[in-house]
Every structure is written in C-alpha cells, then in structure tokens.
Structure 1
Amino acid sequence: MCTGLTEKQRLYRKWVKELRSSMATLLHKVDLEYHLVTSGWYTRNTKASSLNDVLRWKESFSHLLRSKEGRYAFHTFLQTEFSEENLEFWEACEDYKKTRWVKKLPSKAQGISQEFLQIGSPREVNIDHRTRELIYKKMAVPCRNCFDAAQEQIQILMEKDSYPRFLKSPVYNTLLKQSFPSTVTMSFT
C-alpha cells in the first residue's frame, strides 16, 4: 500500500479545499445580502429616500456619492461584496479635506495611512505602488490634497467595478420599489 500522495492528488486536494472555501464565501455573501434586504434592516436604519433621489443615483456615480443616503445604501451593498473599505477610505479622504485645523492634518493623515494604505493593514485599499509612494512623500508635510491621487483611483475602481453591480443588486432594487408611491389615485373629474 502506498503511503504518500502523488503530486496530482496533492494538487487535487488543494483545489478542492480552495473550492470549498470559495463556495463558503459565496454562500455567506448571498446570505448576507438576502438578510439585509428581507429583514428590512436597511430601511429601518435610514431615512426614506425619495424616488427622485434613488433615480438620480442611477444617473451617475457622482450623484450617489453626493447623497448621504446613497452612500449608506452603497456601503450596505459593498458589505455584501466584502469591499466596504473602498467607500470608507473615500469618505475618510473627504473628511480629511474638510479638516479646519492644520495642526490636526498630520495625525489624521497618519491614521488614514495606517488604516487603509499600509501594506497588510486590515482594511488596505487597492492602489498602485507609485501612488502609495507619492502619498508617503506628501505625508512628510501633510496638506489637504495629499490623498487625492489614491482617492481618485479608488473612486474610479468603485465606479467601474462595484457601482454597476450595485444598480442591479437587491439593495438598490428594494430601495427603488420602496420609493415609489404606494397608492396612486387618479381623478377624471
């Protein structure tokens, strides 16, 4: 009896293990999205958006980002895709730009860097190496626009990748349905 596994058998076992892991992640994503939509969790935790607002989010990604409720809906969707750190980074950059006290910029910049930009950080965003190095250079003397290049990259990534899926998602479709007036009365007098 042969006690060792062949290389083919080891590769097959590894492949099966990865497949099981991928399936578990996919099932968790589907379950989370279903729970968020069917439980009413989203609608209980936000103020109702008007139909006009929800329809404007579909017009452009910038309309979605300008709306607090739109960002909240998008964040809920990103949680189902395990990529909410992208929007959180974008929002942290927006908050950073609005910092009134120049003396607070270095500590805020360091916090953003540690949370989102350092390689291996728990909520690391996907930016290229050149942009990361540029930010580190700008952080030597932090200014309000030191994260602009990374923020723009993440915004483009969300717009091209996650945003189209958001517009087709149960989260968006549920909001759209809930925004329609429940009753329409017509009078022909």
Structure 2
Amino acid sequence: MCRTLATFPNSCLERAKEFKTRLGIFLHKSELSSDTGGVNKFEWASKHSKERIFSEDVLGWRESFDLLLSSKNGVVAFHAFLKTEFSEENLEFWLACEEFKKIRSATKLATRAHRIFDEYICSEAPKEVNIDHETRELTRINLQAPTASCFDVAQGKTRTLMEKDSYPRFLKSPAYRDLAAQTSAASSTSTSSSSPAEPSHT
C-alpha cells in the first residue's frame, strides 16, 4: 500500500481492502512494462443480488464524474486506473481533503492540514499535485490559520483536472469498457431469466 493511503484512518483502509476484494481488481503496477499496450483489466465476480447492484454501479460511472466519485467501488476502480498512469496522487489528495473536512478538533485539523500540505502541495512534495503557483501560495497562506476549507481551491482545481483529463480516458480504457460490457451482459441475462413467461393463448 502506498505511503499516502497509510495516513488514512484504519476504518478507511479496511473498507478499501474490502472493496478491492469484492471487485477483484488486480492491478500490479510494479509489473507493468512498456509492452503491455494498455491497462490491466479489472476482474470482478459477484453473484445473485450483489451482481445486479454492482452492474448498476459500474454502468452509472459513465453518467457523470460525480457519480463515479460518490461510488465507493468507483473510487477504487478509478484509483487503480490512475496508478497505471502514475497520477494517483490527484485522487488521493481529493480523498484526503474529503476526510480532512470531517475533522472537528482544531488541534487535529491543524496537524492534518500541515501533513496534507507537505505530502501534496509544497514544492518537491512526495505526491505533489499539478496546481498553479497562485493556488499553491494561497493554500500556504491558508495554513497560517487552518480551517476545514483551507484546501478548497486546490482540491477544486485537482478535481477539475481529473474530470477533464483522466476521467474521459478512464471511460475509454479497455479495462472499463470490458467491465461495462460484462456488467451489461450479466444484467441482461439476469433480467431475461427472471422475467415471467408470457401466458399461452389457446
């Protein structure tokens, strides 16, 4: 697990592991080579009622970026895709900001704010996100008196970058297209098999 995700609360890490297990996403970035020619496929296995729920979830990801981010499975899948493009820091920063806004303790808020800044915002940060100089300086100033909204501008610009750049590529990737095709087929099969037979006319 990357060092950044290690800073998340244990409950978040446990949920992430659970989602990865449920989805069956196998993403071995360290094994990717220049001749792979694309993204590792997301492999999934789901049965009975879970299959229908997961199918609806996957197909909903292409409706809007908001729906993707609001889906726990979608976030896991999108993060796996971003790892293949070596740009997972954008989503990790966005997630860190979402968790940051939930903090109620002023002391913890200040501590976490500086940790996020050092991890993602400052020059030469280990997970430096792609934001302009003005936004970087504004965020630095905000840290002088940290509030729940001190990363809002930087988070918004990072989100826009993902929505306009990475998200369209995710939807066009062989991994997502194959997954969507499989879920559509599974949904159609499930629907047809559960439909009542038409009454015969004598």
Question: TM bucket by the smaller chain?
Answer: 0.7 to 0.9
Name whichever of 87-96 and 98-107 sits farther off: 98-107
Give the distance between the partners of 2:156 and 2:138, measured in 1 at CA. 13
Aligned to 2:119: 115
Q: TM-score, normalised by structure 1?
A: 0.75
Q: CA deviation at 1:147?
A: 0.2
- 1:122 shift after superposition: 1.9
Q: Partner of 1:99: helix, strand, or coil?
A: coil
2:99 maps to amino acid: D
Q: For the pair shown, which has the larger CA radius of gyration, 1 or 2?
A: 1
- Structure 1 distance, partners of 2:137, 2:35, is 37
Deviation at 1:170, TM superposition (A): 2.2
Hey, what does 2:155 align to over in structure 1? 151
3-state SS in 2 of match to 1:144: coil
Matching of residues 31-180 of structure 1 within 5 Å: 31=36, 33-34=38-39, 36-37=40-41, 40=43, 43=44, 50-180=54-184
Q: Deviations over 1:62-114 (max 9, x none)?
A: 11111111111110110111100000000000000011222201110111011
% identical aligned pairs: 49
Q: Is the Cα contact below 8 Å between 1:118 and 1:124 reproduced in 2?
A: yes
User: Alpha-carbon deviation of 1:55?
Assistant: 2.0
Decide whether the 8 Å contact of 1:32 with 1:80 is kept in 2.
Answer: no
Provide the rounded CA distance (Å) in 2 between the counterparts of 1:132 and 1:75: 24
Cα drift, residue 172 of structure 1: 1.4
What amino acid sits opposite 1:82 in the alignment? F
| Alignment match, 1:28 | 33
Write the distance in 1 (CA, Å) between the matches of 2:67 and 2:170: 14
The Cα shift of 1:179 comes to 2.3
Once the two structures are TM-superposed, the CA of residue 51 in structure 1 deviates from its matched residue by 2.3
Q: How many residues align?
A: 157
Counterpart position of 1:188: 198
Distance 1:107 1:55 in 2: 39
The answer (yes or no) to whether the contact 1:64–1:71 under 8 Å persists in 2 is yes
Q: 1:30 to 1:105 in 2, by over 3 A?
A: farther
Change (3 A) 1:51 1:120: same
Distance in 2, Cα, partners of 1:32 & 1:117: 32
Gaps of 5+ in 2: 1-31
What amino acid is aligned across from residue 150 of structure 1 in structure 2? A
Q: How far, CA to CA, are the matches of 2:76 and 2:35 in structure 1?
A: 19
In structure 2, relative to structure 1, the CA distance for the partners of 1:87 and 1:63 (3 Å cut) is same
Contact 2:62 2:171 in 1 (8 A): yes
In the TM superposition, what whole-angstrom CA distance separates every residue of 1:35-58 from its partner, at most 9, and x where no partner exists?
Answer: x317x3xx37xx865222222211
In the superposition, the TM-score normalised over structure 2's length comes to 0.70
Give the distance between the partners of 1:32 and 1:85, measured in 2 at CA.
Answer: 23
Distance in 1, Cα, partners of 2:143 & 2:168: 33
